[in-house]
Amino acid sequence: MKQLKWVKQSVSKKAWSSFYSHQGSYCFLEEKEGKIGVGFAINGDIPENCLELNNDELMIVDMYRRDRHIYPFPLKTVERI
């Protein structure tokens, strides 16, 4: 069994609004240069069009998924301020 990896991908605003924003497993990360950064989990190798999440992005995805009770969580524990 391959290990779960947490990644991000840039998608168009249209793709975000018509598909990704309606799927609970995709987390909005940022809007930059007309594209939307989306964080999510994959099982297996990281595709060429994706990058691994950094620590700040992992925190954003973790809080998003915990708030909505979407499992699994990327972090084992999270400290909230």
The pLDDT tens digits of the residues spanning 11-70 come to: 999 999 999 999 999 999 999 999 999 999 999 899 999 999 999 999 999 999 999 999
More confident residue, 76 or 14: 14
Per-residue pLDDT band for 5 (boundaries 50, 70, 90) equals very high
Alpha-carbon torsion (16, 22, 26, 27), positive or negative: positive
Residue 50 confidence (pLDDT)? 98
From the number of C-beta atoms within 10 Å of its C-beta (0-12, 13-18, 19+), residue 5 rates as: middle
Residue 10 confidence (pLDDT)? 98
Domain residues of the chain, as ranges? 4-67
